[in-house]
Amino acid sequence: MPKMKTKSGAKKRFSFTGSGKIKRKHAYKSHILTKKSKKRKRNLGYDAIVDPADVKNVRKMLNK
């Protein structure tokens, strides 16, 4: 059997922490930034951890 390929979109969007959790970026940080407050934009800049409900699906896309 051939190897399973990683979903290339997921490869670009997710990365792993040292402890094995999955990191993601926040949405709503790409455009129409003038109406968003500095605080909101600053908090969107930080990485977030993938919710436990979604971890199984993300790991499946990354073949991990």
What confidence tens digit (pLDDT) does each residue in 27-56 have? 999 999 999 999 999 999 999 999 999 999
Residue 46 lies in a domain: yes
Torsion of CA 56, 22, 61, 40, to 10 degrees: 110
Cα–Cα distance for residue pair 8/37, rounded to 1 Å:
33
> What total of structural domains would you count in the chain?
1
* Cβ neighbours of 12 (radius 10 Å): 8
Residue 56 lies in a domain: no
- What does pTM read for this prediction? 0.83
Residue 60 lies in a domain: no
For residue 1, name the pLDDT band (cuts at 50, 70, 90). confident
Give percent of the chain with pLDDT exceeding 70.
Answer: 100
Average pLDDT, the chain: 96
Residue 63 lies in a domain: no
Residue 42 structure tokens: 């600053």
Segment 16-20 mean pLDDT: 96
